[in-house]
């Protein structure tokens, strides 16, 4: 199991970035949104051939007689001062330094605190000056990397100096025409992390091209962006092949089993594995150990 690292240096850019935090479906979202059935009542209704009524929190609820759900918010808006509410217009720009919102008709509104309800991706596009992104997560299948770091936002020394002249080795879209000759920057850089395992194999011959295409797919790169440098490194996890077991919060470097209780069991199971070949369940099966109580291993009373 290993990870790959790709770094790309580019010239001036004009691109959009989407920040997406991975979420996974599980049952905790249910709460009161989905009514839990009463098993005894359900069986009784089946036996007596009765229809269940008034079941769950939404058995009865209020709804506007006119205007649908939108009618609620129109009624609320009507209670506010008309001169303070602007409808039927669109926000096209937000200057977060001057704290000024620009509307589609050219008028502006000054603010002290701004509460936004539009999609955060749209807000991000219209912010001026742009707020630098540091790292972004990508769970989508159209990119081989799970995380992209805008490395040049950390420090100006993470990319060539502006006055350095470098030739363009290719455009992001490989079949696009490349402009010849070395020229100055400014430059910017991306660091992209690709995970690799037995269930997610990586083709080392094509991973760089797939990573660049993933940047185009996710909006990190435009097809016409000029690339002046490419770097790829694969990290190998081979310590155990030379009889070294690296375990613990930082030794294993496995976040999902990095708490104190995990670290303790990593040590216990590591010793058992070295001495007796017992499988290391905590290290290799985090989903299993994190969903159950460990009653098998206990410390003997002194």
Domain boundary among 235, 264, 280: 235
Judged by average pLDDT, the poorest of 21-30, 77-86, 214-223, 293-302 is 21-30
Q: What is the domain count for the chain?
A: 3
Domain co-membership, 208 together with 251: no
Domain boundary among 212, 235, 258: 235
Domain co-membership, 141 together with 229: yes
State pLDDT tens for residues 79-135: 888 888 887 889 999 998 899 999 999 999 999 888 888 877 788 788 888 777 788
Domain co-membership, 115 together with 201: no
Give the model's pLDDT for residue 33: 57
Domain co-membership, 202 together with 145: yes
Selection from 230, 226, 229, 231 nearest residue 180 by Cα: 226
Domain co-membership, 156 together with 217: yes
Instruction: Give domain status of residue 144, yes or no.
Output: yes
Domain co-membership, 139 together with 229: yes
Q: Is the pLDDT of residue 16 over 70?
A: no
Instruction: Give domain status of residue 273, yes or no.
Output: yes
Instruction: Give domain status of residue 73, yes or no.
Output: no
Domain span at 88 = 82-128
Domain co-membership, 155 together with 6: yes
Residue at token pair 């020394």: 157
Instruction: Give domain status of residue 184, yes or no.
Output: yes
Instruction: Give domain status of residue 74, yes or no.
Output: no
Instruction: Give domain status of residue 169, yes or no.
Output: yes
Domain co-membership, 104 together with 144: no
Domain co-membership, 111 together with 184: no
d(CA 206, CA 143): 13
Instruction: Give domain status of residue 99, yes or no.
Output: yes
**Confidence band for 13, pLDDT divided at 50, 70 and 90:** very low
SS (H, E, C) the chain: CEEEEEEEEECCCCCCCCCCCCCCCCHHHCCCCCCCCCHHHHHHHHHHCCCCCCCCCCCCCCCCCCCCCHHHHHHHHHCCCHHHCCCCCCEEEEECCCCEEEECCCCEEECCCCCCCCCHHHHHHHEECCCCCCEEECCCCCCCCCEEECHHHCCHHHCCCCCCCEECCEECCCCCCCCCCEECCCCEEEEEEEEEECCECCCCCCHHHHHHHHHHHCCCCCCCCEEEEEEEEEECCCHHHHCCCCCCCCCCCCHHHCCHHHHHHHHHHHHHHHHHCCCCHHHHCHHHHCCCCCCCCCCCCC
Domain co-membership, 217 together with 169: yes
Instruction: Give domain status of residue 190, yes or no.
Output: yes
Domain co-membership, 6 together with 154: yes
Alpha-carbon distances of 204 from 21, 140, 238, rounded to whole Å: 27, 20, 18
State pLDDT tens for residues 226-247: 999 999 988 766 666 667 788 8
Domain co-membership, 9 together with 152: yes
**Angle value at C-alpha 49, between 45 and 55, nearest 5 degrees:** 40
Judged by average pLDDT, the poorest of 71-75, 153-157, 213-217, 247-251 is 247-251
Which one of 27-31, 61-65, 175-179 scores highest in mean pLDDT?
61-65
Domain boundary among 218, 235, 252: 235
């Amino acid at each position: 199991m290993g990870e790959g690292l790709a770094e790309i240096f580019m010239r001036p850019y004009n691109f959009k970035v989407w920040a997406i935090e991975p979420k996974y479906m599980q049952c905790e979202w249910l709460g009161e949104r989905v009514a839990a059935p009463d098993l005894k009542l359900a069986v009784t209704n089946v036996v007596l051939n009765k229809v269940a009524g008034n079941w769950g929190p939404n058995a009865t609820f209020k709804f506007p007689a006119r205007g649908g759900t939108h009618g609620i918010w129109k009624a609320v808006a009507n209670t506010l001062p008309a001169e303070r509410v602007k409808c039927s217009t669109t926000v096209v720009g937000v200057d977060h330094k001057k704290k000024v919102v620009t509307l589609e008709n050219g008028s502006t509104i000054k603010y002290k605190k701004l509460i936004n309800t539009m999609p955060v991706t749209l807000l991000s596009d219209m912010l001026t000056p742009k707020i630098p992104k540091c790292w972004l997560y990508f769970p989508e299948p159209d990119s081989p990397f799970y995380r992209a770091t805008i490395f040049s936002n950390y420090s100006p020394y993470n990319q060539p100096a502006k006055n350095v002249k470098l030739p363009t080795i290719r455009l992001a879209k490989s079949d696009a025409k490349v402009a010849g000759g070395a020229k100055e920057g400014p430059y910017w850089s991306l660091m992209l992390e690709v995970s690799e395992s037995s269930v997610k194999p990586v083709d080392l011959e094509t991973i760089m091209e797939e990573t660049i295409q993933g940047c185009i797919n996710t909006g990190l790169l435009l097809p016409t962006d000029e690339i002046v440098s490419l770097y790829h490194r694969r990290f190998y996890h081979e310590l155990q092949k030379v009889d070294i077991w690296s375990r613990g919060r930082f030794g294993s470097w496995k976040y999902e089993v990095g708490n104190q209780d995990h670290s303790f069991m990593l040590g216990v199971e590591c010793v058992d594995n070295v001495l007796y070949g017992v499988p290391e369940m905590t290290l290799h099966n985090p989903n299993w150990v994190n969903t159950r109580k460990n009653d098998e291993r206990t410390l003997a009373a002194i």
